[in-house]
Amino acid sequence: MTRVHLAQLLRRPLVGGDGEVVGRLSDVIVRLRGRDYPLVTGLVAKVGGREVFVPAEQVADLDEGKITLSSPRVDLRHFERRAREVLLRADVLGHRVIDVADVELVRAYDIELERRPDGWALTCLDTRRPPRLRGFPGGRAAHPDWRDWKSFEPLIGHARSAGVRGPFARLGRLKPADLADLLEDANRTESHEILQTVHADPELEADVFEELEPDSQTRLLRERSDAEIAQVIARMRADDAADAINDLPQSRRQPVLDALPAGQRTKVLTLMGFNPSSAGGLMALDVLTMTGSSTVAAALRAAGEARALQPEALTSVYLVGEAQRLRGVVTLVELLQADPVARLDDVADRDPVRAGPDTDVEDVALLMTDYNLLTVPVVDDEHRIVGVITVDDVLDVVIPEDWRRREPAPHPAHHVEEPGPGGSPHDRPPGS
């Protein structure tokens, strides 16, 4: 046979060249190989109540009825798992994996192995729940949903295998909101493994924590030390960082604040002084401001160089006068369409819509709706600009909780990443 399925292989007899039964299959060992399909390196066989290792070189054939060995002699030393080994029954079969295309956790109900030029390899997973598990025993059998292994990221749950897995490259290409959704659905073991991967990119880790629901964010942060929490919060937007610290237990807030870099700590403390549901509590403190005598070209250049500002706050340039008093606003689109040598005073709206720090977020939402705005500047009693509130922050507060929890829109049809040598193994009708 060129393809076999693990669910049918398990507990099948291992037969030596002389026809004698040596033992029964307990597990299959593979080595992950990055973009290539995992290669079978050996079997775990149960021989007389003892689990022993059988190297792949000793396996003459895999068949769903029996496994044929080239020699009846096996090493009877008790099998001990090595750091770079992945066990398909123990680690993958029946466990959840990450469906990268649909950004969801799905369960592997069966595993397909295929004979390839370099040996037996794991090529496909069946993620369709068998009918008997749906409570309909004896019903019409459904076709398996065999999909390419490269569509998934495994969650092995074995710390000593981390070295062989390496960075989860496909997860790194997901949006922070997608990774946050995975964490919302993950159990504790799964979430720890996902976070361990995300932790390799500190900026991505901070973005993911910003996207988490407050309860999940607090739960995952509380499992870290004060210093580790501060490392994440230091890279978050100041308004999100302030919310995260406010949601921590009272006893942990000050130690985390003390561990923050001075600049971030100052911003967070400023925002924590406002009601979280007010414009002041939601605003970003970093704003791109220029004087009215500056040119359009200079403003565009400044916007291009403002890499430290959140992109959502860079839709407009704010004109300020003495003591940072707000004098006008001009959008980036208007700048792009204006004469590069024109003065900002000549192209700006000199009576911009604004809000005070204590303005309710619902009122800010109405301002944005009435005036078709993406950002609203926040000014103090002296009309000095102190921050800017963005439409994404407003939506985050005003969208009802039941809307957040409804089922997301369906994803497009499955896609498979670039196939390995010989093409994609699942380009065939289901169940074939």
Residue 15 β-bridge partners? 21, 68
- Let me know if 270 is exposed, middle or buried by CB neighbors in 10 A (0-12, 13-18, 19+): middle
For residue 358, tell me if it sits in a domain: yes
Whether 196 and 85 map to the same domain: the answer is no
Cβ atoms of residues 153 and 99 within 8 Å: no
| 16 shares its domain with 126 | yes
pLDDT in tens, the chain (432 residues): 689 999 999 999 999 877 889 899 999 999 888 778 999 999 999 998 899 999 999 999 888 788 999 887 888 888 888 877 889 999 999 999 999 888 999 999 999 999 999 899 999 999 988 776 544 444 444 577 899 999 898 887 655 555 555 555 567 778 999 999 999 999 998 998 889 888 888 999 999 999 999 999 999 999 999 999 999 999 999 999 999 999 999 999 999 999 999 999 999 999 999 998 899 999 999 999 999 999 999 999 999 999 888 888 999 999 999 999 999 999 999 999 999 999 999 999 999 999 999 999 999 999 999 999 999 999 999 999 999 999 998 988 888 766 655 665 655 554 544 444 444 444 443 334
Same domain for 379 and 325, yes or no, is yes
- 42 plus 106 within the same structural domain: yes
Q: 74 in helix, strand or coil?
A: coil
Pairing status of strand 13-15 against strand 67-69:
parallel
Q: Where are the alpha helices (DSSP H) in 3-102?
A: 6-9
| 28 plus 151 within the same structural domain | yes
Q: Name beta bridge partners: 331.
A: 316
Which residues have CB under 8 Å from 343's CB, separation 6+? Answer: 292, 293, 294, 295, 296
Position of tokens 């370099």? 118
268 and 288 within one domain: no
Name residues whose C-beta falls within 8 Å of residue 59's C-beta, 6 or more positions apart in sequence.
40, 43, 67, 68, 69, 70, 120
User: Can you point out the beta strands (E) in 286-369?
Assistant: 289-290, 316-320, 326-331
Identify whether 327 is part of a domain. yes
Residues 226 and 92 in one domain: no
Q: What residues make up the domain containing 307?
A: 281-401
Residues 223 and 91 in one domain: no
- Contact yes or no for 385/378 (Cβ under 8 A): yes
> Of 206, 240, 273, which residue sits at a domain end?
273
Identify the H or E element spanning 396.
helix 391-398
Same domain, 368 and 324: yes
What's at 15, amino acid-wise?
V
Closest CA relative to residue 265, chosen from 241, 229, 232:
241
Q: Is residue 249 part of a domain?
A: yes
Asked, for residue 382, whether it belongs to a domain, the answer is: yes
Q: Is the Cβ–Cβ distance between 78 and 95 less than 8 Å?
A: no
The C-alpha angle with vertex 287 and arms to 281 and 288, in degrees rounded to 5, equals: 170
Q: Which of 103, 101, 221, 91 is nearest to 157 (CA)?
A: 91
Q: Are 286 and 318 contained in the same domain?
A: yes
**Cross-strand pairs, 355:** 378
In a domain, residue 432? The reply is no
CA atoms within 13 Å, Cβ hemisphere of 280: 15
Number of folded domains in the chain?
Answer: 3
41 and 130 part of one domain: yes
Q: Name which of 320, 315, 316 is nearest 291 in CA terms.
A: 320
* 49 and 72 housed in the same domain: yes
346 Cβ contact partners less than 8 Å away, ≥ 6 residues apart = none
